[in-house]
């Protein structure tokens, strides 16, 4: 009993401490966060959303309620943006980083939902109901696996995204029949063993369905329905269940519904092992190179990332941080989906995969950011980066409203991402924008890489057409894989350097 009381007392002391933990450098003038500061922004945002749906009923269309809605939304937006500017969390560097993301994202989302979309575009999100029609599964049987000779990685032209709209192929398909590898009589046993290994890795089969979206008639009819509408919109980062759904959520009407058992399998077989390995690498790098004496990272002076890590170790740490983030997002996504599974068939309970293509099928930097990485902030980057970038390019070049402005889209999207992430890491670096520039450099370099690879692909395709050569070569996909991994590892060092300087790596190492 005394042990439990001692544990509770130590936990309470930790949660209520006001002194920043070692390595945390909050913005000067900020103070420890309070419960009220955390709760007020989302609560006021939710109440404002109750009055957002368009009429009927006419009760939400009065001048008084419009003024109340505007006042609540304005206050919620201000409080969201104020979170990282006025408060800090003493207990954790990582939590401070996340609070900064939440504050900036929340403020931008409120501005979008109540002012930008309704006023500039006359658009208030309508809720979408999903109908799932069973369809015959596309996953191959063991016999199909044995007979198949097609390599799904060869469906793409080099590291271009010519087939980006096609549904991803998640199946393991051997590039050659296994009979070619084994002596007569041994191939059946080899196929059986590999099929068992494949089933262990892939887990329970997801339900194959055709998905149909049916928009509602425009407004919630009851108070309960209105309350549900507001909650779903507030929690739907990617617009799932609403007409503002981002492109990564739906590429085709053919989809698979993950089950609870499928998500649990993903967590225990795929995610947790990756998290464990990555944390082991991070801890090894910190204990042996970055902080062998246990001293916190210096706030000024040269970065230990550059002075204490060789180039191979920098790449290894960068890869470990990236894989950890990928797995951690997947873990949170699947956990939340399992918790909300009893709410099915509500959109609130259906969470499309965060990553819409397997990592080994990525063949370009553009494809990595479009399909291989989560797009939880896609709406933010669309409204505050892609659209302004398109507008600027069209104004500068004189393009018409219906003409494409791909350069502006790419530059605007990556610049907005650079600002969002630098703003967040700045909150644990004493508010110093210079020290927080690593993440900005990372996204700017990736934006430049997307532009360069697009120009190279266009030139290569044109040259092959002129020479009447095949547009697809056997080596294209491998060149693409080498290209995008090199870009991510080299540019990602800027990201990793910032995390080392901010003390995030030290915290992840448990020191």
Same domain, 12 and 120: yes
- pLDDT tens figures, 79-122: 999 999 999 998 889 999 999 999 999 999 999 999 998 888 88
pLDDT class for 412, splitting at 50, 70, 90?
very high
From CA 436, how far away is CA 454, in angstroms rounded? 29
Region 428-441 average pLDDT: 89
Largest Cα–Cα separation, the chain: 83
pLDDT class for 483, splitting at 50, 70, 90?
very high
Domain-embedded: residue 454: no
| pLDDT at residue 259 in the model | 79
**What's the angle, vertex CA 20, arms to CA 18 and CA 26, rounded to 5?**
110
Domain-embedded: residue 449: no
| pLDDT at residue 149 in the model | 34
Domain-embedded: residue 110: yes
Domain-embedded: residue 50: yes
The CB-side HSE value for 242 (13 A sphere, CA atoms) comes to 24
| pLDDT at residue 74 in the model | 96
Mind giving me the DSSP string for 61-87?
Answer: SSHHHHHHHHHHHHHHHHHHHHHHHHE
The backbone torsions φ and ψ at residue 282, rounded to the nearest 5 degrees and listed phi first, read -65, -45
Which has more pLDDT, 375 or 106? 106
Same domain, 67 and 181: no
Check whether 164 has a pLDDT greater than 80. Answer: no
| pLDDT at residue 102 in the model | 93
Q: Which of 102-106, 138-142, 259-263, 399-403 has the lowest mean pLDDT?
A: 138-142
Domain-embedded: residue 240: no
* Spatial contact of 480 and 363, defined as CB atoms under 8 Å apart: yes
Same domain, 16 and 97: yes
| pLDDT at residue 219 in the model | 72
Question: Which residue is associated with the tokens 């890590």?
Answer: 309
The CB-side HSE value for 408 (13 A sphere, CA atoms) comes to 19
Check whether 181 has a pLDDT greater than 50. Answer: no
From CA 16, how far away is CA 36, in angstroms rounded? 14
pLDDT class for 24, splitting at 50, 70, 90?
confident
Domain-embedded: residue 90: yes
The backbone torsions φ and ψ at residue 212, rounded to the nearest 5 degrees and listed phi first, read -120, 135
Region 154-163 average pLDDT: 31
How, if at all, do strands 31-32 and 87-88 pair? parallel
Same domain, 91 and 33: yes
Same domain, 120 and 136: no
Domain-embedded: residue 475: no
From CA 12, how far away is CA 44, in angstroms rounded? 28
**Token pair for residue 335?**
């956990």
Question: Which residue is associated with the tokens 């609540």?
Answer: 72
pLDDT class for 187, splitting at 50, 70, 90?
low
pLDDT class for 322, splitting at 50, 70, 90?
very high
Mind giving me the DSSP string for 344-402?
Answer: TTSGGG----S--S-GGG--SHHHIIIIIS--TTHHHHIIIIIHHHHHHHHHHHT--TT
Same domain, 8 and 96: yes
| pLDDT at residue 70 in the model | 93
* Spatial contact of 159 and 363, defined as CB atoms under 8 Å apart: yes
> How far is CA 321 from each of CA 92, 267, 435, 508, rounded to the nearest angstrom?
18, 18, 19, 10
From CA 448, how far away is CA 445, in angstroms rounded? 5
Check whether 249 has a pLDDT greater than 80. Answer: no
DSSP designation for 160: S
* Spatial contact of 489 and 318, defined as CB atoms under 8 Å apart: yes
* Spatial contact of 381 and 104, defined as CB atoms under 8 Å apart: no
pLDDT class for 167, splitting at 50, 70, 90?
very low
Long-range contacts of 475-481 (CB under 8 A, 24+ apart): 476/156, 476/157, 476/158, 476/159, 476/363, 477/153, 477/154, 477/156, 477/158, 477/159, 477/363, 479/158, 479/159, 480/156, 480/158, 480/159, 480/160, 480/362, 480/363, 480/364, 481/159, 481/360, 481/362, 481/363
Q: The domain containing residue 71 runs over which residues? A: 2-124
Mean predicted lDDT score pLDDT of the chain: 81
**Token pair for residue 39?**
């709760």
| pLDDT at residue 146 in the model | 37
Same domain, 115 and 136: no
Give the number of other Cβ atoms within 10 Å of residue 360's Cβ.
11
Domain-embedded: residue 223: no
Which has more pLDDT, 2 or 102? 102
Same domain, 152 and 109: no
From CA 448, how far away is CA 425, in angstroms rounded? 22
Give the number of other Cβ atoms within 10 Å of residue 442's Cβ.
26
Same domain, 140 and 43: no
Same domain, 91 and 61: yes
Mind giving me the DSSP string for 293-353?
Answer: T-PPPPSSSS-HHHHH--HHHHHHHHHHHHHHHHHHHHHHHHHHHHHHGGGTTSGGG----
* Highest mean pLDDT out of 49-63, 280-294, 345-359: 280-294
| pLDDT at residue 404 in the model | 87
| pLDDT at residue 192 in the model | 61
From CA 282, how far away is CA 508, in angstroms rounded? 7
**Token pair for residue 17?**
């401490």
| pLDDT at residue 370 in the model | 87
How many structural domains is the chain composed of?
2
Check whether 53 has a pLDDT greater than 80. Answer: no
| pLDDT at residue 97 in the model | 93
Check whether 140 has a pLDDT greater than 90. Answer: no
Same domain, 112 and 187: no
| Helix pair 437-466, 406-426: axis angle to 10 deg | 160
Same domain, 28 and 104: yes
């Amino acid at each position: 009993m005394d042990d439990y009381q001692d544990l509770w007392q130590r936990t309470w002391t930790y949660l209520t401490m006001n002194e920043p933990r070692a390595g945390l450098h909050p913005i000067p003038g900020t103070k420890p966060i309070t419960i009220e500061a955390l709760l007020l922004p989302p609560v006021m945002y939710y109440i404002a959303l109750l009055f957002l749906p368009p009429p009927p009923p006419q009760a939400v269309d009065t001048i008084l309620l419009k003024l109340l809605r505007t006042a609540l939304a304005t206050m919620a937006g201000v409080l969201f943006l104020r979170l990282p500017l006025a408060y800090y969390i003493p207990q954790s560097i990582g939590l401070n980083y996340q609070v900064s993301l939440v504050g900036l994202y929340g403020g931008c989302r409120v501005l979008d939902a109540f002012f930008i979309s309704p006023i500039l575009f006359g658009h208030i999100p309508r809720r979408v109901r999903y109908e799932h029609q069973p369809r015959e599964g596309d996953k191959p049987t063991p016999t199909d696996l044995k007979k198949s000779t097609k390599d799904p990685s060869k469906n793409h032209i080099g590291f271009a995204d010519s087939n980006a709209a096609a549904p991803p192929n998640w199946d393991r398909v051997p590039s050659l029949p296994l009979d070619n590898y084994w002596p007569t009589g041994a191939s059946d046993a080899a196929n059986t063993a590999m099929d068992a290994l494949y089933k262990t890795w892939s887990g329970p089969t997801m339900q194959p369905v055709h998905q149909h979206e049916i928009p509602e008639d425009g407004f919630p009819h009851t108070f309960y329905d209105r309350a549900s509408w507001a909650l779903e919109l507030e929690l739907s980062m990617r617009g799932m269940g609403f007409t503002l759904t981002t492109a990564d959520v739906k590429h085709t009407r053919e989809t698979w519904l993950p089950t609870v058992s499928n998500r649990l399998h993903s967590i225990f077989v795929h995610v947790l092992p990756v998290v464990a390995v990555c944390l082991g690498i991070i801890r090894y790098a910190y204990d042996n190179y970055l902080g062998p004496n246990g001293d916190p990272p210096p706030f000024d002076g040269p970065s230990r990332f550059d002075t204490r890590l060789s180039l191979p170790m920098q790449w290894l740490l960068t890869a470990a941080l990236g894989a950890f983030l990928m797995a951690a997002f997947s873990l949170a996504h699947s956990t939340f989906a399992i918790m909300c599974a009893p709410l099915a068939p509500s959109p609130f309970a259906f969470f499309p995969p965060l990553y819409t293509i397997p990592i080994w099928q990525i063949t370009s930097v553009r494809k990595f950011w479009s399909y291989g990485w989560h797009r939880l902030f896609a709406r933010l980057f669309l409204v505050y980066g892609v659209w302004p970038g398109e507008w600027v390019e069209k104004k500068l070049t004189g393009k018409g409203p219906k003409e494409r402005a791909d350069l502006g889209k790419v530059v605007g999207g990556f610049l907005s991402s650079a600002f969002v992430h630098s703003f967040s890491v700045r909150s644990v670096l004493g508010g110093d924008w210079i020290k927080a520039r690593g993440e900005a450099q990372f996204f700017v370099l990736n934006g430049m890489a997307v532009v360069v690879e697009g120009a190279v692909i266009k030139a290569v395709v044109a040259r092959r057409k002129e020479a009447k050569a095949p547009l697809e070569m056997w080596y294209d996909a491998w060149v693409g894989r080498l290209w995008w991994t090199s870009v991510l590892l080299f540019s990602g060092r800027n990201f990793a350097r910032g995390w080392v300087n901010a003390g995030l790596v030290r915290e992840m190492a448990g020191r």
